[in-house]
A = this chain, B = another copy of it.
Amino acid sequence: MAITIRKIASDLNLAVSTVSKALGDSHEISAHTKKRVLDYAKSLNYVPNTYASSLKRHTTRNIAVVVPEVADSYFATAINGIESVAQQKGYHVIIYITHEDQGKEESILKEFRSGRVDGVLISVSSGGDATKHLHDLAQSKIPMIFFDRVSSQVEAPRVVTNDFESAYQATEILIRRNCRTIAFLGLAPNLSIVQERLAGYHEALIDQKLKVKDNLILFGSSDDSANIAMIHKLLVSRSRPDGIVAATEKLATQVYTVCHSLRLKIPGDVKIVAFSSMSTAPLLNPPLATITQPAFEMGKTAASMLFKKLTGKSTAEAEQIMIPSKLFDRKSAE
């Protein structure tokens, strides 16, 4: 049996409420009693039962972070950012991984109505177009903030990066380096970020009077070998691109793998710029030119927005914060 407030109260000949207030450093309690309670509690190694107080107060000090994947430098770093502010505020971070599976995402979000968490930070999965579960949660009492992968259908505060401009820049740089057949590799086309990046790519091509060819726009999945096969096919086809804009780091490394196996030279045969937060990008062979998202900052900002909502200083419903990415021009695009 863990030690409870009641035991402290009876041992000290006090009422439970007195002890509760003393522990909560209430001004109603005399300094003397407070000290007595605190000292005794410490000597007993008292730790309050979170569940009891959660039940009573309808608040949990837990926040949920829902991500498609955790072994990915963007999400791992964003989680770091989130955790840094959560920890500072005394909140706990529960991680939910959807593995790009919308069914999982739905059941996860549904659970949130059980009161296990006070708020939710989410980067949506690519597996599907349904938004009902997001709507339901947005409608509920529990605040939700999107980060990175947002849903344009659902009203909720969000933190994003400048995907459109970044993709535009990435494409432009390839054009400037004389690429004329530039492919775009994205994850599922239903993802907001993929749409934005694709649009940026598209516009850059148009602006530079290059044709947009559908067969150069490819969408991967979370199945690695399928992606490899897709990229392989692209790179052996007659319309082999001389430049690639990759919307995720996974796709970029897969391009590297395929190029190595096909003995294609980067950047000689094909140049590439990728959206990626990998710290090893400069160490790759060749160094990978990247659009580096401010992952840590985005996590931090999203968490701060959530805490603002939790403490009532509510951010407006559809508030959006944009934190720009940075282009690092490296060998792979030269």
**Chain A residues within CB distance 8 Å of chain B:** 2, 45, 47-52, 54-55, 60, 62, 70-73, 76-77, 79-80, 83, 87, 92-97, 104, 110-111, 113-116, 253, 256-257, 260, 278-280, 282-287
Contacts and interface: CB of A to CB of B under 8 A. Distances in A.
A111 B286 contact: no
A297 to B, nearest CB: 14
Given A45-B113, A70-B70, A80-B97, 7 more contacts: A47-B111, A50-B114, A71-B76, A92-B96, A94-B95, A253-B279, A253-B280
Interface centre among A70, A115, A279 (most CB of B within 10 A): A70
Contact of A2 (B96, B97, B115, B284): B115
Contacts of A286: 285
A70 B74 CA distance: 11
Contact of A76 (B51, B76, B94): B76
Contacts of A116: 50-51, 92
23 contacts: A2-B113, A45-B113, A47-B110, A50-B115, A51-B51, A51-B116, A52-B55, A70-B76, A70-B79, A70-B80, A71-B77, A71-B79, A79-B95, A83-B97, A87-B104, A92-B96, A94-B94, A253-B283, A257-B283, A260-B283, A280-B280, A280-B284, A283-B285
Contacts of A72: 76
Given A76-B70, A76-B76, A93-B94, A113 B47 contact: yes
Contacts of A76: 70-72, 76
